């Protein structure tokens, strides 16, 4: 596995110079946190990611999680690393201080999450889902539920899962059939089978809180009849003591392409006792609280993997000596030049770098908006919520497609060695591939973006996003860069507005192209802004590195937007033109 080093220089540049964190915190009245503390957290987070969980990643892939006698065992070292993690308070970063959480701004926690993803995705995923469960219970749970579960979930003493999918209900949750029967004592008996439950069981925590979607007996059909329940693995007494095991069992664990150390479970609920989260039949809204958080976090997985792959490829390109550079012998004292001098290897590394850094800027801009949504005044919160709504599917869909593409380039830089497991580069691609699928496939993200986010509210969320980006454009100092960014913003907004009134079929046909088109435009604006801000940095290599990488992005990657744009406004007729039998030719 390539050695992982947290990209602290880039993160600090983005947080301090680009996002101007101290100013941002002041404006939001956040007084407990400042730049210095941010740097301390980043540096401790880097130490944990690099020193504790990254070293477990390869072996985790080799040995996988195992199911024996109904119990899951994770690979050696995983459980201990988790104990370190929670002992040092990492799990509590975002939790409410009312339940002993640290209530950190997102701009502090998100960079640490990126590091964990780079270091060991399988390990990170279980913690991530606990954080999502914390959110759902915090926002929708009643007082008793919070009192019983929240502090333990925030500390990480107990973990959480999301139990949505059933064999025949994935994308379409209206088909789900798990049942909930009122128990007469305020609790419910939950029955049904759920699949694809990450961390459905493990050897990390004494209890696991499953958040389960199920139907009440008299529930309306479809998605309006779904309720959310918290179903603990072990029942908890009123005083908070662990009691008997609940009727929850692991049916099997999946054999997967990657993410092997993370147990993906079939979970069986057999009249298991559960408690309602939020109102009856409003489960989907509660679930979306978790889901939206999880979607952004999955986008961050794509970013984390991309970073790890870039680092591996860069160090290999520097070491691997093959042939001479076409621009002339570069290392005359060696038998051959390192492949770092080959223009085509540069193309691959720069593609990795430009996409990774661009997506990091997007992720941190998103984190900043989450801070605003949490700490801002009502008006600010309102605007930030719209930006977040708009950017969530882009972060999830684009950043995970990017993660697989970039990790595939990482393999390519290694040549044949990239295909060999011991180097770890192919694991990154296999691990990355899941992120395009779970928490809503990227096709679903694209549909969410164009239908629910862009069209449904007549462009209001678009407008909020435009306003935010306009500020970034206006702040660009170099006039030519500002003009370029302004054109890009205008073009993107203009194109987006034209789409708003398409019918549902044409929207569906344009969805995927629109998601990628939007991402390339937005990344272009962010690159111009970053490169501009970097000119004031005291770090010389950052200054020129950002400028040159920006130039590469604008020249070689941004033009991809035009290919996507071409398909946006021409409807879905060509997609639907083929009769079913015309797809066959056997």
The single-letter DSSP state of residue 49 is I
Is 491 considered catalytic here? Answer: no
> Shortest approach of a copy of itself to residue 214 CB, angstroms?
18
Q: Which is nearer to a copy of itself, 79 or 321 (CB)?
A: 321
Cα distances from 35 to residues 14, 41, 114, 132, 521, in angstroms, run: 12, 10, 18, 26, 30
> Shortest approach of a copy of itself to residue 442 CB, angstroms?
7
Q: Which is nearer to a copy of itself, 103 or 439 (CB)?
A: 439
Where would I find the H helices in 320-342? none
Question: Tokens 């708003």 identify what position?
Answer: 500
> Shortest approach of a copy of itself to residue 116 CB, angstroms?
16
Contact 121, 299 (CB under 8 A): no
Contact 4, 308 (CB under 8 A): yes
Q: Which is nearer to a copy of itself, 186 or 559 (CB)?
A: 559
> Shortest approach of a copy of itself to residue 465 CB, angstroms?
22
d(CA 316, CA 521): 31
Q: Which is nearer to a copy of itself, 127 or 554 (CB)?
A: 554
Q: Which is nearer to a copy of itself, 144 or 323 (CB)?
A: 323
> Shortest approach of a copy of itself to residue 328 CB, angstroms?
9
Q: Is 5 helix (H, G, I), strand (E, B) or coil?
A: coil
- Here the tokens at position 431 are 């691990």
Q: Which is nearer to a copy of itself, 347 or 501 (CB)?
A: 347
Q: Which is nearer to a copy of itself, 37 or 420 (CB)?
A: 420
Cα distances from 221 to residues 212, 224, 440, 452, 575, in angstroms, run: 18, 7, 22, 22, 31
- Here the tokens at position 563 are 């290919």
Question: Tokens 């770098």 identify what position?
Answer: 353
Q: Which of 131, 166, 307, 439 is catalytic?
A: 439
d(CA 70, CA 58): 25
Please choose, from the candidates 365, 439, 307, the residue with its C-alpha nearest in 3D space to the C-alpha of residue 106.
365
Q: Which is nearer to a copy of itself, 241 or 584 (CB)?
A: 584
Sign, CA torsion 379/380/382/387: positive
Q: Which is nearer to a copy of itself, 342 or 461 (CB)?
A: 342
Q: Is 218 exposed, middle or buried (0-12, 13-18, 19+ CB in 10 A)?
A: exposed
Sign, CA torsion 232/174/435/112: negative
> Shortest approach of a copy of itself to residue 251 CB, angstroms?
14
Report the relative pairing of strands 207-214 and 248-253 from DSSP bridges.
unpaired
Residues 6+ apart with CB under 8 A from 134: 94, 95, 101, 150, 153, 154, 160
Please choose, from the candidates 534, 527, 532, 523, the residue with its C-alpha nearest in 3D space to the C-alpha of residue 475.
532
Contact 49, 90 (CB under 8 A): no
> Shortest approach of a copy of itself to residue 574 CB, angstroms?
5
> Shortest approach of a copy of itself to residue 489 CB, angstroms?
21
Contact 462, 455 (CB under 8 A): no
Contact 345, 339 (CB under 8 A): yes
Please choose, from the candidates 318, 391, 401, the residue with its C-alpha nearest in 3D space to the C-alpha of residue 355.
401
Residues 6+ apart with CB under 8 A from 364: 11, 14, 15, 18, 19, 107, 110, 111
> Shortest approach of a copy of itself to residue 332 CB, angstroms?
15
Catalytic residues: 439
């Amino acid at each position: 596995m390539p050695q992982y080093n947290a990209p602290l220089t880039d993160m600090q540049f983005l947080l301090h110079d680009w996002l101007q964190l101290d100013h941002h915190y002041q404006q939001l009245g956040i007084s407990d946190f400042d730049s210095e503390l941010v740097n301390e957290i980043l540096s401790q987070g880097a130490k944990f990611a690099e020193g504790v969980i990254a070293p477990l990643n390869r072996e985790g892939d080799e040995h996988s999680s195992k199911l024996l006698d109904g119990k899951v065992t994770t690979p050696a070292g995983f459980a201990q690393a988790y104990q370190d993690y929670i002992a040092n308070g990492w799990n509590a970063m975002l939790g409410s201080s009312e339940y002993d959480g640290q209530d950190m701004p997102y701009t502090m926690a998100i960079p640490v999450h990126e590091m964990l993803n780079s270091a060991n995705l399988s390990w990170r995923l279980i913690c991530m889902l606990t954080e999502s469960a914390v959110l759902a219970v915090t926002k929708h749970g009643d007082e008793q539920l919070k009192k019983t579960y929240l502090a333990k979930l925030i500390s990480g003493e107990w973990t959480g899962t999301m139990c949505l999918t059933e064999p025949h209900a994935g994308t379409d949750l209206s088909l789900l059939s798990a049942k909930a029967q009122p128990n007469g004592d305020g609790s419910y008996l939950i029955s049904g089978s759920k699949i694809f439950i990450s961390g459905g069981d493990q050897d990390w925590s004494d209890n696991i809180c499953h958040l389960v979607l199920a139907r009440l007996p008299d529930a309306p059909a479809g998605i309006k009849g779904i309720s959310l329940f918290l179903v603990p693995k072990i029942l908890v007494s009123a005083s908070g003591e662990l009691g008997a095991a609940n009727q929850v069992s692991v049916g099997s664990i999946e054999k997967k392409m990657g993410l092997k150390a993370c147990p993906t479970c079939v979970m069986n609920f057999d009249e298991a006792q559960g408690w309602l989260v939020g109102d009856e039949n409003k489960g989907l809204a509660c679930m979306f609280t978790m889901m939206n958080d999880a979607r952004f976090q999955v986008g961050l997985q794509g970013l984390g993997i991309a970073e790890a792959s870039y680092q591996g490829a860069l160090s290999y390109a520097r070491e691997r000596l093959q042939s001479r550079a076409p621009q002339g012998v570069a290392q005359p004292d060696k038998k051959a030049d390192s492949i770092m001098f080959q223009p085509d290897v540069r193309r691959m590394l720069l593609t990795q770098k430009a996409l990774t850094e661009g997506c990091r800027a997007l992720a941190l801009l998103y984190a900043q908006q989450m801070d605003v949504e949490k700490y801002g005044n009502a008006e600010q919160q309102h605007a930030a919520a719209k930006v977040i709504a708009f950017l969530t599917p882009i972060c999830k869909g684009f950043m995970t497609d990017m993660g697989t593409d970039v990790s595939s380039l990482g393999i390519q830089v290694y040549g044949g060695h990239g295909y060999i497991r011991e180097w770890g580069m192919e694991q990154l691609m296999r691990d990355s591939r899941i992120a395009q699928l779970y928490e809503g496939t990227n096709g679903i993200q694209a549909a969410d973006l164009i239908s629910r986010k862009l069209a449904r509210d007549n462009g209001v969320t678009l407008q909020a996003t435009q306003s935010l980006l306009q500020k970034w454009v206006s702040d660009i100092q170099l006039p030519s860069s500002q003009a370029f960014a302004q054109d890009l913003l205008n073009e993107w907004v203009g194109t987006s507005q034209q789409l708003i009134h398409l019918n549902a079929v044409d929207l569906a046909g344009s969805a995927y192209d629109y998601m990628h088109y939007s991402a390339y435009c937005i990344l272009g604006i962010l690159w111009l802004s970053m490169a501009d801000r970097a000119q004031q940095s005291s770090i010389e290599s950052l200054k020129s590195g950002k400028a040159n990488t920006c130039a590469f992005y604008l020249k070689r990657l941004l033009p991809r937007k035009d290919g996507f744009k071409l398909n946006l406004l021409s409807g879905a007729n060509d997609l639907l033109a083929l009769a079913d039998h015309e797809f066959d030719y056997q």
